[in-house]
A and B are shown apart, each in its own frame.
Chain A
Amino acid sequence: MKTWAAVSWILQHGSAKFRTIGTEDSPGTAIFSLTGNVKNAGLIEVAMGTTLREVIYGIGGGISKDRAFKAVQTGGPSGGCLPAQFLDTPVDYKTLSELGSIMGSGGMVVIDDTTCIVDFSKFFLQFTQQESCGKCVPCREGTLRMLEILERITTGKGKMSDIDDLLLLAETVGSTSLCGLGTTAPNPVVSTLRYFRDEYIQHISNRYCSAGSCVGMFELVIDHNKCNNCSRCQRGCSFDAISGSRDEGFLILTESCEGCRVCLETCPQNAIEVFPVK
C-alpha cells in the first residue's frame, strides 16, 4: 500500500524529486504507527532520516505524564527495542538494522520507566508464538520454550543459565526457521538482552522488577517528599492496601498490596516509587 502510494507520487513528480526527501540510502518517507506511552499517538509520516527524538518528542509530544523515556520498539513484533542512547538516531532502513531493529511493519511503541523490559519482550514473543504455523521445529518449539523462559523470569523463577539459553534459542530460531515469522521472532528478546541485560539479571538474581511490573518482585513505597496527600491512591486501591488519611498522610501496606499498580498510575505527583522486596 505504502509502496503504491509512493509509486503514484513518483510518477507525478519524478524520481529525482522523490530522492530529495529522506536519506541517500533510504529516500522518501516512512510511515509509523506511533503508540505507547506518548502524549500524541497515531499514524504519522516523516521523511526518512528523521531522528527518533524528533518523532517521539516532536510529533509525539513527549512521554505521557512526563515520565522518563525507557525504550522504543520499532518494526512491530518482529522488530527490536532501542534504548535512550539512540534517541538521536536517524530513522532509516540501514541505521535501524545496524542497531538490531527494523522498519518492519512500521510499528513504533514507546515505553516509559514503568514498563518492564522482560515483560515487554514477552508480550511481543507471545504474539509470534501464537502466530506460528507449527511446520518447522525452531519456530514451533523454540518460540514456546523462549516464552516459557521469559515467563519464568517475570515470575521470579529465573536462573542465570536462562539468559544463555534464551540467546542460544534466539540464535537458533532466528537463523534456522523456515519463514520470516520465525527468523524475526527472537528480535525483541535479542535487542532487549543487548541493551537491557541488567534488567534481566535483576529479575533473576534479585527477584526485582525495577519497573514495578512483575507481580511479587517489587514493593511500592510512597515518597512523602513528593506526596501531596490527595488520597487518589487510597480511593483507587481495590485491596485496602493503603492506610492513612489526607491529614496524616498515606502508607502502602506491603502485606496487603497485590501489585496492581493502580496507585502508581493514578498518582499525579509520581510520588510512588518502586523498591526491591525486602
Chain B
Amino acid sequence: MPDTLALQRPQYFVANDREIAFFRGDTYLTALRRAGIEIPTMCNDPELTPSGSCRLCLIELENGKLVTSCNMTPQPGSSIETHSQNAETKRQTLIELIIASHPLKCTVCDKSGNCDLEDLAYDYVPADRLTVFDGKLPPLPDNEVNEFFMLDYSMCIRCAKCVQVVDEIQHCGVLSMENKGFDVFPSTGFGQTFHEAGCVACGNCVTVCPVDALKPLSVIKAGREPQFDRVKTTCVYCGVGCQFEFVVNKRKNQIVYVDSVMPNRLEERAEVNGLSLCVKGRFGTDFIHHPDRLTSPLIKENGEFREASWDEAFDVIESRFKQVLQEHGPDAFSILSSAKCTNEENYLLQKFARAAIKTNNIDHCARLCHASTVTGLVRTFGSGAMTNSIHDLTHDADVIFIIGSNTTEAHPVIGVKIKQAVVAGTARLIVADPRKIELARMAEIHMQQRPGTDIALINGMLKVIIENNLVDHEFVRERTEGYDDLLRELEKVDVAEMAQIAGVQESEIRDAALLYGQAETAAIVYSMGITQHSTGTMNVVSLANLAMVTGNVGREGTGVNPLRGQNNVQGACDLGALPNVLPGYQQVSDETVRQIFSDHWNTELSGVAGLTVVEMMHAAHAGDIKAMWIMGENPALSDPNVNKVREALATEGMFLVVQDLFLSETAKFADVVLPASSFAEKSGTFTNTERRVQRVRPAIAPLGNSQADWKIIAELLRRFGIAAEYQTPDDILREVASVTPIYAGITPERLEPNGITWPCRSEEDPGTRILHSEQFARPGGKGRIIGVEFQDAAELPDANYPFVLTTGRNLYHFHTGEMTHRSKGLHERRPYELTEINPIDAMRLGIEEGEKIRLTSRRGTLVTRAKIVEKVKPGVIFMTFHHREAQANLLTNDVLDPYAKIPELKVAAIKVERLTLLAD
C-alpha cells in the first residue's frame, strides 16, 4: 500500500544501468514495475503469492544466472539485466512451449486483443516458429459451462492462477490441480460441476485467467477488445462499493461484461476490493439491457398507461404538484428518495422537497435497514456510521465479532476478506446468528440465538466482561459517561438466564465474552440482524456499550461496524434524504443550519421534521398524503406488511409519480411513470459502507428515452423556480461540498484514485478512515454508555402461530429482485424462493424437500417452497424477500422501533402448513 511505502527509507539496486528504489516486501518484479520497467508474466498477479510457474519474468544476475524476478527479494546494491540476450532467448522458447500446447485459434478467439499469450507471442515468436514444438496436446476433461461462465480446457495453459484465487482469495475450495506433469489441469475433482463443488460464482478465477479458458458467457461472440471501451465505475449492488470495469461495445451501446480493475501493481488496485467481486457485481448487471427497461414516460389514463413525451409528463407533474401544494399545503407531499441513486441525485431530491415544496417529508429505504444504527450510534457515539474502514477491520482486528450479518452472502467481498483474515490466522471469529451461516463454520464460537434476543446475549457478555475485570477502565473514565447506568442495569442480569432467553449455552456466552474482552483489538460487525427489530436502536446501543466498555473504539481493528445494505444508502443518508436532517446530518430544527441552506437555496425552509417511510404509508393510507414522488424504490415489495402499503399507494385522490428503471410493483400504482437511466448511463458518486465517496461513470448512453435522475429532478426544480443550472453532477457535488461540512473537502477533482472517506472538512483534509479516534462526535466529546434492559420481540410465537419467521438475503439476489431477477444468470441460478425449515419441523409437519408450503401470519399469507436444512433451528423459518411470487413482507410485522421507526422485519409469528394437505 502506498501510504506505508512512504514511511520507509528506500534501498536501491541497479537494473539495466539504472538505479531502482525498493522497499520492504518488494520483489525485483514489483520494484521494476513501480519504476516503469515492464517484465512479461503469465502467472503473476500482485494479489497472489508469486508462484514462479511461468518463468517468463526472468532477469539476469551479475553472475549470469537467470532467476525469476517475481519471487526474489532484491539485494541492495545488486545489478541485474531485465532484457539480456540470454533472458530474451529463454523467454521466447518458453512462449513457444506454451503455444505448442495451446490452439492457435486467435482469429476466432473471444479473448483476442486482451490475451496475455497472444501479446507475448506477437512480441517474441517469429511466424515460422509458431508450430515448432507442436506435438501431444494436454488432457481435455469435460468443459464446465454454468449460468455465468465457462471453462474451455482446450485453451487452458495450466498457469494455476484460478486455483490460486480459490486458495488465497476466495477460500471456496472449488479448484485444485489434478494429475501431474504434462497431464496436470485445474479441476473441481471427481467430475463435479463448479456448483456441486461449492462455487459461489464470484468469477474471480475467471477474471485472472490470462487466456480464453475461463470466460463469462456474455463475452462469446460479443466483440473483441479492440471494439471495446473499458469504463471504471462503482458497483450498484451492496454497500461494499466494489470498483469494477464495464467492458462496453461502444458501437452497439452495449455492456458486454464486467471485469475487475487489475493494474499490475498492488498499490494501484482499488483499495476496497482489489480484484474481488461477487456474483451479482460480476455477472448480474445484464438487467441494464433487459427488455423490461422503461424507455418512455408513461401517463395513466382510465387505469391504462400510455406513452408520453417528457414535456407532457413534466407538465402533468408540475400542474398536479402545484395544485396539491395550493389546495393541501406542503405536508400533503411525501417524497421517497433512493439509496440506489447517486449522492448528487439524493441531494437534489431532498432539495426539491425542502426548497421547492417546503416539506421535510423525505425519506428512503435506510429507514428499513439502518435507521436504528443512526439513532443508536448517534446516541452513544454521536455519529451513525461505520466507525472503521474495511481494510483495518479485516487486517488489524485480533477478534471479529459478527452479529446479525450473513456477510458472505449480503456483503460478499467483505465476507471474503474476513475469511482471509481467519485463514491467515490474524483474526479469531465469533459469530452470533440464528442460522448456521457460512462464516459460522469458520468461527471459534457460534451462538445460534433465538431471533430477537440480541440484547440478552450482549448483556450476558457484558456481565462476564465486568465479572472478569476485562473492562478498559481508563477508556471508560476518560472517554465515556454513563458507565454506572450500565452497572445498575447489569446488576439485574444473570448470565445463565440470558443464555436461556437467547437459547444458547451459557458457556458460549462466557467464551465469547472472554475472547472479545481479552483481545487487544476487537471489531464488531453487524447488519440487519441487529437493526430490523422493534428494539433495533437498543440492540445497537448494546453493541456500542460492549465496544466502549472494552475500549474497542477509535483504533485500527476495532469499532462498531454496521455494514450498509445498498450501494448508496450511506450517501443518501449523508445527503439529507431523511425527514429530520439536512445534508451532513444537520438538524432541520436548528435555525442556524436552516439559515445557511435558506441563503444558499434562496428560499425559506420548514423546521418541522417530516414523516418516515412507514409513517408516510400510514398517512397515505389515512388519506393525508395527496402527492407522492418515489424515486427508485419499491415499497410495494420491500416494506413490511405490504398489503397495507399497496392500499396506501392505491389511495383515491393521491397523485403518485414513480421514477424507475422498470415498471416495478410500485410503479404500477403510479399516475406518471418516469423512465430513469441506470447507474451505467450516468455519472456521479456513491458513498460506500466505510464512508468512502467513489466515482460512478457513464459506460453507455442512456437507453431509449430514459434520463438520469438528476436531470429529471433538476428540470422539476427549475419548474418550481429553484435555480438548478447544473451542467454535470460534478457541479452538484461542488454545491454539496459548500453546504455539507463533512463533505466540504470532497470535490470531483479529489476522487481519484480511491475516493475519499468522510468526514473530510477541507480540501487539505485527507479524509477520515477511523471515527472517534480522539473524541466522540457527541457534544462534549464523550461516548455515552446506556444500560439496556432486554425486551422481547413485539410478536412471539403462540399456539396459533407457532413459528418465528426471520428474513434476510441470499447471495444470488438483491432486495426485491427488480434487478437480479432480470439478470439471466442470477435468475436461472435461483429462480424462486426456497424457505428454510429445520428437518425436525419438516418431519413433524410431513413436509418434503422442495414441497410447496403455506406460511400465514396475522397480516398475510403466501405460498413458497420448503428447503429442509439444519441451518435454522427447530421453530425458526427463514425466507428472503427477493421473490415476487413469495413476498416475505406479506407476513412481516410493521410494528416500529420507537426511536428509529424501523419496522421489525426480523421477527414475526407465523404458522406453516403443507399445501398438499390443504388441497385434500
Which A residues form the contact surface with B (CB < 8 A)?
129-138, 140-142, 144-145, 148, 165, 168-169, 171-172, 175-178
A140 to B98, CA, bound (A): 10
Q: Which of B54, B100, B180 contacts A145 (CB 8 A)?
A: B100
- Beyond A175-B65, A175-B86, 10 extra complex contacts between A and B, CB < 8 Å: A129-B182, A131-B181, A136-B54, A137-B94, A141-B97, A165-B133, A169-B93, A171-B90, A172-B89, A176-B90
Q: Which of B65, B93, B184 contacts A140 (CB 8 A)?
A: B184
A130, A132, A137, A168 interface centre (most CB from chain B within 10 Å): A137
Check if A138 sits within 8 Å of B94, measured CB to CB. yes
Check if A135 sits within 8 Å of B66, measured CB to CB. no
Q: Which residues of B contact A135 (CB under 8 A)?
A: 51, 53, 160, 184
18 contacts between A and B (CB under 8 A): A129-B182, A130-B181, A131-B181, A133-B181, A134-B158, A134-B179, A134-B184, A135-B53, A137-B53, A138-B55, A140-B184, A141-B133, A144-B136, A144-B181, A172-B93, A175-B66, A176-B66, A177-B55
| Binary CB contact string for chain B from 81 to 94 against chain A (1 if under 8 A, 0 otherwise) | 00000100110011
Check if B181 sits within 8 Å of A129, measured CB to CB. yes
A138 to B100, CA, bound (A): 12
Does residue B845 face the partner (Cβ distance < 8 Å to A)?
no
A140-B158, A175-B90 known; A134-B97 Cβ under 8 A: no
Residue of A nearest to B87 (CB): A176
Q: Which residues of A contact B136 (CB under 8 A)?
A: 144, 148
Does residue B177 face the partner (Cβ distance < 8 Å to A)?
yes
Does residue B135 face the partner (Cβ distance < 8 Å to A)?
yes
| Binary CB contact string for chain B from 33 to 61 against chain A (1 if under 8 A, 0 otherwise) | 00000000010000000011111101000
Q: Chain A nearest CB: distance from B50 CB in Å?
A: 11
Q: Chain B nearest CB: distance from A271 CB in Å?
A: 40
How many of chain B's residues touch chain A, expressed as a range?
Answer: 20 to 34
Q: Chain A nearest CB: distance from B750 CB in Å?
A: 44
Q: Chain A nearest CB: distance from B463 CB in Å?
A: 54
Check if A140 sits within 8 Å of B181, measured CB to CB. yes
Check if A145 sits within 8 Å of B97, measured CB to CB. yes
Q: Chain A nearest CB: distance from B289 CB in Å?
A: 40
Does residue B183 face the partner (Cβ distance < 8 Å to A)?
yes
Q: Which residues of A contact B183 (CB under 8 A)?
A: 134
Going nearest first, the 9 A-B pairs with the smallest beta carbon separation are A134-B184, A141-B97, A132-B181, A172-B93, A148-B135, A145-B133, A176-B55, A134-B181, A144-B182
A131, A132, A135 interface centre (most CB from chain B within 10 Å): A135
B90, B98, B179, B182 interface centre (most CB from chain A within 10 Å): B182
Does residue B361 face the partner (Cβ distance < 8 Å to A)?
no
A134-B158, A137-B94, A141-B100 known; A176-B182 Cβ under 8 A: no
Check if B177 sits within 8 Å of A134, measured CB to CB. yes
B94, B100, B158, B179 interface centre (most CB from chain A within 10 Å): B94
Check if A141 sits within 8 Å of B101, measured CB to CB. yes
A135-B160, A137-B94, A137-B97 known; A144-B135 Cβ under 8 A: yes
A145 to B86, CA, bound (A): 21
Residue of B nearest to A136 (CB): B53
Residue of B nearest to A168 (CB): B93
Does residue B132 face the partner (Cβ distance < 8 Å to A)?
yes
Residue of B nearest to A172 (CB): B93
A145-B133, A148-B135, A172-B93 known; A137-B180 Cβ under 8 A: no
A179 to B9, CA, bound (A): 34
A132 to B55, CA, bound (A): 15
Q: Which residues of A contact B52 (CB under 8 A)?
A: 136, 178
A129 to B58, CA, bound (A): 23
Residue of B nearest to A151 (CB): B135
Q: Chain B nearest CB: distance from A182 CB in Å?
A: 9
A148-B135, A148-B136 known; A137-B98 Cβ under 8 A: yes
A178 to B65, CA, bound (A): 13
Q: Which residues of A contact B56 (CB under 8 A)?
A: 137
Q: Chain B nearest CB: distance from A167 CB in Å?
A: 11
Check if A132 sits within 8 Å of B180, measured CB to CB. yes
A178 to B66, CA, bound (A): 11
A133 to B51, CA, bound (A): 14
A198 to B292, CA, bound (A): 76
Q: Which residues of A contact B65 (CB under 8 A)?
A: 175
A178 to B177, CA, bound (A): 17
Q: Chain B nearest CB: distance from A22 CB in Å?
A: 29
Check if A140 sits within 8 Å of B182, measured CB to CB. yes
Residue of A nearest to B42 (CB): A137
Q: Which residues of B contact A148 (CB under 8 A)?
A: 135-136
Q: Chain A nearest CB: distance from B247 CB in Å?
A: 29
Q: Which residues of A contact B94 (CB under 8 A)?
A: 137-138, 172, 176
A165 to B134, CA, bound (A): 12
Residue of A nearest to B58 (CB): A176
Residue of B nearest to A130 (CB): B181
Q: Which of A141, A165, A172, A177 contacts B182 (CB 8 A)?
A: A141
Q: Which of B55, B179, B182, B184 contacts A178 (CB 8 A)?
A: B55
Check if B181 sits within 8 Å of A137, measured CB to CB. no
Check if B182 sits within 8 Å of A132, measured CB to CB. yes
Q: Chain B nearest CB: distance from A237 CB in Å?
A: 35
Q: Which residues of A contact B89 (CB under 8 A)?
A: 168, 172
Q: Which residues of A contact B51 (CB under 8 A)?
A: 135
Q: Which residues of B contact A131 (CB under 8 A)?
A: 181
Q: Chain A nearest CB: distance from B72 CB in Å?
A: 13
Residue of B nearest to A144 (CB): B182
Contacting A at CB under 8 A, from B170-185, are 177, 179-184
A134 to B156, CA, bound (A): 13
A129 to B181, CA, bound (A): 7
Q: Which residues of A contact B132 (CB under 8 A)?
A: 165
Q: Which residues of B contact A136 (CB under 8 A)?
A: 52-55
Q: Which residues of B contact A140 (CB under 8 A)?
A: 158, 181-182, 184
Q: Which residues of A contact B42 (CB under 8 A)?
A: 137
A109 to B500, CA, bound (A): 77
Q: Chain A nearest CB: distance from B121 CB in Å?
A: 14
Check if A133 sits within 8 Å of B180, measured CB to CB. yes
Residue of A nearest to B184 (CB): A134
